[in-house]
Amino acid sequence: MTQKIIQIPTLNDTPEDFQQLFEMSNQVNGLFEDVRFDFSSCRFLRSNAVAFLGGFARLIESLGGSVIFDWDTLRSNSVRANLCQNGFAGNFGYNAKAWSGHSIPYREEMEPDMNEIMDYLTFSWIGKWVNVTDRLRDAISGRMWEIYSNAFEHSGTEVGVFTCGQHFRHRNDLILTVVDFGRGIPAKVKAFLSQFVDEARVSKLSGADCMKWAFERGNTTSMGGVARGLGLDLLKDFVRINQGKLEVYSNDGYAIIDKEGERFDNCSISFQGTVVHITLRCDEKLYRFYDEAEE
């Protein structure tokens, strides 16, 4: 069997960078592919790319293929240091132990272990970098749980959920990316609506249409007589209040919520799964509760 070599480019977190990641994942379509990731062209790798690559590697393995990250091709010392620090390198064959720095640990969740994930969000993510009251820290972690809840409950992922984050000192931004390789939001929305509406009409819904529907309060693909559909709604309210940014890429749909409002778009390159990429501003004044006195 021939080995497929995939070049990892320099990857930031703009929509174009995400498109590059999706294009890369589309290079592996079959079962039992042996893939070698080559870092020769990579000079910078943001945490969103780290979470995506980790999940993608596990997806290939789950399909019976093999994955090698070719650490000898990695020329950038800063990328190497970052990947060692956040634990990604250690997870994929490089002999290095993670350490505590500005990285936020790379994580793979096979099961929705609530306490483990909440500890990560509370103490390794928000609690590690943002100097806020415990009450506010807890409130933010609770909102972030909504992302995991959606990923585990709705995506049908068989390879788990992958997370990485980073704190940027200069801008004081805190980032979290959560990736799953499940069905994707547009696919789930279409499958749900097809139970009630002619499939030919439902198939005309674009990725952007489906994302918009999913982001509306109370809309849910869950059945069973319990009102749901608040997770994305609570999350987008939270991001808006705190002048952050929430981006969701799923199949051919894209949603962005920021201080300008909410926009939905179609992506030229589709991928099977969902990426939630959230940027919070670490300005304590933005997060203060109404009843917390000014100091």
Partner 1 sequence: MKLSIKEWVGPRCIIKEDGQKIYEVIHGLLKSGETITLDFNGVSQFASPFFNFAIGQLLNDISEDELRRLLIIENLNESGSMVVDRVIENAAQYHGDKDYQKIVDDILEQQARESD
What is the C-alpha separation between 82 and 191, in angstroms, rounded? 40
Residue 206 interacts with partner 1 (CB under 8 A)? Answer: yes
Q: Which residue's CB is nearer to partner 1, number 72 or number 134?
A: 134
Contacts of 1 (CB under 8 A, 6+ apart): 32, 34
What is the C-alpha separation between 82 and 47, in angstroms, rounded? 9
Residues 131-150 contacting partner 1, CB under 8 A: 134-135, 138-139, 141-143, 145-146, 149
CB 155 within 8 A of CB 191: no
Which tokens belong to 104? Answer: 């936020």
CB 189 within 8 A of CB 205: yes
What is the C-alpha separation between 48 and 46, in angstroms, rounded? 5
Residue 204 interacts with partner 1 (CB under 8 A)? Answer: yes
Q: Residues touching partner 1: how many (CB under 8 A)?
A: 41
Q: Which residue's CB is nearer to partner 1, number 137 or number 281?
A: 137
Report which of 205, 151, 209 is spatially closest to residue 177, judged by C-alpha positions: 151
Residue given tokens 């293929």 in the structure block: 65
What is the C-alpha separation between 79 and 96, in angstroms, rounded? 14
Rounded least distance, CB 58 to partner 1, Å: 24
Among 218, 261, 285, 294, binds partner 1 (CB under 8 A): 218
66-75 core/surface letters (b: 16 or more CB in 10 A; e: else): ebebebebbe
Q: Which residue's CB is nearer to partner 1, number 57 or number 208?
A: 208
Among 209, 258, 262, 284, binds partner 1 (CB under 8 A): 209
Which tokens belong to 136? Answer: 């506010």
Residue 214 interacts with partner 1 (CB under 8 A)? Answer: no
Interface pattern 82-121 for partner 1 (x via CB under 8 A): ------------------------------x-xx--x---
Residues 222-261 contacting partner 1, CB under 8 A: 225-231, 233-234
Q: Which residue's CB is nearer to partner 1, number 146 or number 258?
A: 146
**Which residues contribute to the site for partner 1 (CB under 8 A)?**
112, 114-115, 118, 122, 134-135, 138-139, 141-143, 145-146, 149, 153, 193, 196-197, 201-202, 204-206, 209, 212-213, 217-218, 225-231, 233-234, 289-291
